[in-house]
Amino acid sequence: MTLLLILAILPVVTALICLILKSWKVQYALTLSSSLIHLAVSFGIFIGYFTPGTTFMFGFDALSKLFLLVLSNTYFWIVLVSYSYIKLPVESDSTSGKKYYFMLMNFYLVANTAAVLSNHFGMYWVAVEMTTLSVAPLVYYSRSEESLVAMWKYLFIVSVGIAFAFIGILFLALSAKGTILDGEQLYFAEYMKNAATLSPIWLKASFIFIFVGLSTKIGIAPMHSGDIDATSSAPSPIAALFSGTLRITALLGVLRMFQIIRPTGSFEFAKGLLIIGGLFSIFVAFIYMFRVTDYKKMVAYSSVEHLGIIALGIGTGGIAFIGALYHIVFNSMTKVGLFLCAGKIHLKYNSRNVSDIFSVLNRLPWTGWIFFISFFAVSGIPPFGFFFSEIRIFEGVFFSDRPYLLIIAMIFLLFIFINMGHTVFKMLYKRGKNEKVSIESEKFDIFHFASISILIVMVLIAVFNPAVLADNITSIANDFGILP
Amino acid sequence: MQNVLSILFCLSLFYITVTSNVRAYISVLRFQGILLVILMILPFIPDLSIFALILPLTMLIVKVILVPQYMTKIMNDLNMKRDIESTIQQFNFLLLVCFSMAIIFLVSNYLSKSTDIAVIPFATGFSAVTVGIYIIIFRKKLLVHVAGFLVLENGIFLFGLAVASEFPVIIELGSLLDIFAVVFLMGIAINKISSTIFTNDRRIQRRDP
């Protein structure tokens, strides 16, 4: 109970104080302290130092512990750079955007924490709705017309998606008609326990609606458009939050449904749907990479690709499922560096158009090199995390009953790597018109520190694979009844 | 009685399909709100308590009074034209809606053989969800998009009453979707968007002050 209070009430109190206080510095200090405490508690829970119980509609299992740590970790690094970010000169009318920045960030943390820790479908749905409402105004941070369009589009598409997810929950309640769950509360654990008694047709319908509805937030194609626009138009720290945490929180809902459907005859159907969604997402990223014009959008499409890989891994099962869980962890870390660097480039060149970007390595050496390294990280080059997680996923697909899917996925991924690399190298090395060859100096700042630190942490986790993480992921696989 | 009210709800969907007047959309939303309030009270009439009336009364205030009034105010304040700015011919839209509703009713009837569901409210609710999505897709004006979202939400509500009437908590949760509708309306009002923000050059058409 105390832990839940710390995880949920602390950010609420911080948010309310941020609403009253005018000083950004104090707001930042409070938010950073709150995020640090949140991270410490999440880490304590993850390693087993704290053993929390179940309270009201919240509880802890291996899956929620992992997702909570992913959320806390990404959020901490984003908050760390936030003060420097809001001090940056952006578009003229952004003062009101800055005013509510930290308050909304805190509400975002509360909503996400509630979604991750909820053990009831109703509570999860409400929390997911809250995450949308807290993050949408952050997309409109710069108060530009483009960000307004992006925010509106995101809010509208996601609200329709959330309405779909609600229909899915109603179908789930309908699937329990005539069973001992009829008229009972929608606790995940109860539904998992009695999954075999649920009506298969309504369970399938429920999975379809929840998967399609939440795909608007996860960014699974073809429901990805609102998410792409919001991610590419949002401030770079918020875009990193979108990619590293928000999509994962939405994925959690699909995973819960997947867990319920596992012991039923509809399991193969759900697996097929996830594989189709995953492959289609990779395909959409593959197509986009042939005609990249906006580099922030390119990074956003990279998130669609990696969420697609995760969906493919979950759908395949076995070792691929374990790989997908590692991929979730590494995705949240990789995207922080990539988006923060993209934001720095945007600030320097005042354009998101690839054709306007040149000589980044000369003009922004720190940012350029980190962007370069992050590109390798996102492409699955060793020793970065994606290499290890993708190997597991590909192994799982290869030894599954659909090995041909690996060939399809590999072709898409190869072209994504080539085309994305082509764009990144053009940005880094291409000379501008009449540009003199000179290396400008760039101050090492908090953005570089955060990006490098998180990349180092990721490499250490990937290479040493700490026992506590491996045990947690094995425990999740056991909960799902999926073993390699 | 539930079937009669659902059929009336269905007729309101046909009306919203053929009308090209934004104000008619608002009136239909009011009408649908009243129908939903009656439908919510019906099962509790034998032992009516104050607790059973809380949600219907809230719905009456929000769906029948506040939201439609706010929409009308936005229309007046922004001097909005009454036309819904459709991207599809009305007749084609009607055909699409009729075809979709026919399929939904047939499928619902088929599903009712294996599960105990009230076919007419269930199918009407699902039809409203479909019509709401069509309105969002085939109309340009943002205020009409919000009306489409509200029709979709009303559909979910009706649908919820058909499948989980004995479990009011889940239906109460659905009312939280109203928050989105209010946020959309506030967005239109604050940014003074009289028509659409999704134009070819991606610039916003705002009404001059």
Nearest to A385, CA basis, from A329, A445, A436, A330: A330
What is the mean pLDDT of the segment spanning A4-32? 91
pLDDT at A314: 96
Give the pLDDT band of residue A1 (cuts 50, 70, 90).
Answer: low
pLDDT at B201: 42
Looking at the complex, does the CB of residue A365 fall below 8 Å from at least one CB of chain B? no
Give the pLDDT band of residue A483 (cuts 50, 70, 90).
Answer: low
Whether residue B189 is predicted with pLDDT greater than 80 in this model: the reply is no
Separation between Cα atoms, residue B54 and residue B172, nearest integer Å? 10
Whether residue A437 is predicted with pLDDT greater than 70 in this model: the reply is no
Separation between Cα atoms, residue B41 and residue B27, nearest integer Å? 22
Nearest to A278, CA basis, from A376, A187, A394: A394
pLDDT digits (tens, 9 = 90+) for B64-103: 999 999 999 988 888 888 887 888 888 999 999 999 999 9
Give the pLDDT band of residue A179 (cuts 50, 70, 90).
Answer: confident
Looking at the complex, does the CB of residue A401 fall below 8 Å from at least one CB of chain B? no
Among the residue ranges A171-175, A308-312, B171-175, the one predicted with the least confidence is B171-175
Measured in angstroms, the CA of B166 and the nearest CA of chain A are apart by 7
Whether residue A223 is predicted with pLDDT greater than 70 in this model: the reply is yes
Name A383's Cβ contacts closer than 8 Å, sequence gap at least 6.
A459, A462, A463
pLDDT digits (tens, 9 = 90+) for A64-100: 999 999 999 999 999 999 999 988 876 556 677 788 8
> Residue A325 is inside which H or E element, if any?
helix A319-349
Q: Hey, which residues does A55 pair with through a beta bridge?
A: A58
Looking at the complex, does the CB of residue B134 fall below 8 Å from at least one CB of chain A? no
Looking at the complex, does the CB of residue A149 fall below 8 Å from at least one CB of chain B? yes
Whether residue B138 is predicted with pLDDT greater than 60 in this model: the reply is yes
pLDDT at A423: 96
Give the pLDDT band of residue A219 (cuts 50, 70, 90).
Answer: very high
Q: Hey, which residues does B86 pair with through a beta bridge?
A: B139
What is the mean pLDDT of the segment spanning A419-442? 85
Whether residue B199 is predicted with pLDDT greater than 60 in this model: the reply is no
Give the pLDDT band of residue B167 (cuts 50, 70, 90).
Answer: low
pLDDT at A324: 97
pLDDT digits (tens, 9 = 90+) for A255-278: 999 999 999 999 999 999 999 999
pLDDT at B168: 67
pLDDT at A90: 63
Count of residues making up chain B: 209
C-alpha distance from residue A435 to each of A248, A304, A350, A363, A431 (Å): 43, 35, 18, 11, 6
What is the mean pLDDT of the segment spanning B152-163? 87
The label of the residue with tokens 């308590």 reads B49
- Scan residues 163-202 of B and list those with Cβ closer than 8 Å to A: 163-164, 166-167, 169-170, 173-174, 176-177, 179-180, 183-184, 187, 191, 197-198, 202
- Prediction pTM value: 0.92
Query: Which residue of A lies nearest to B205 if distances are taken between CA atoms?
Result: A145
Does B191 contact A201 at a Cβ distance shorter than 8 Å? no
- The tokens for A13 are 């109190």
User: Smallest Cβ distance to A133: which of B116, B169, B179?
Assistant: B179
pLDDT at B58: 86
Which residues in A lie closer than 8 A to residue B122 (C-beta atoms)? none
Percent of chain B clearing pLDDT 90 (strictly above): 39
Whether residue B128 is predicted with pLDDT greater than 80 in this model: the reply is yes
Among the residue ranges A140-149, A344-353, A395-404, the one predicted with the least confidence is A140-149
pLDDT at B181: 80
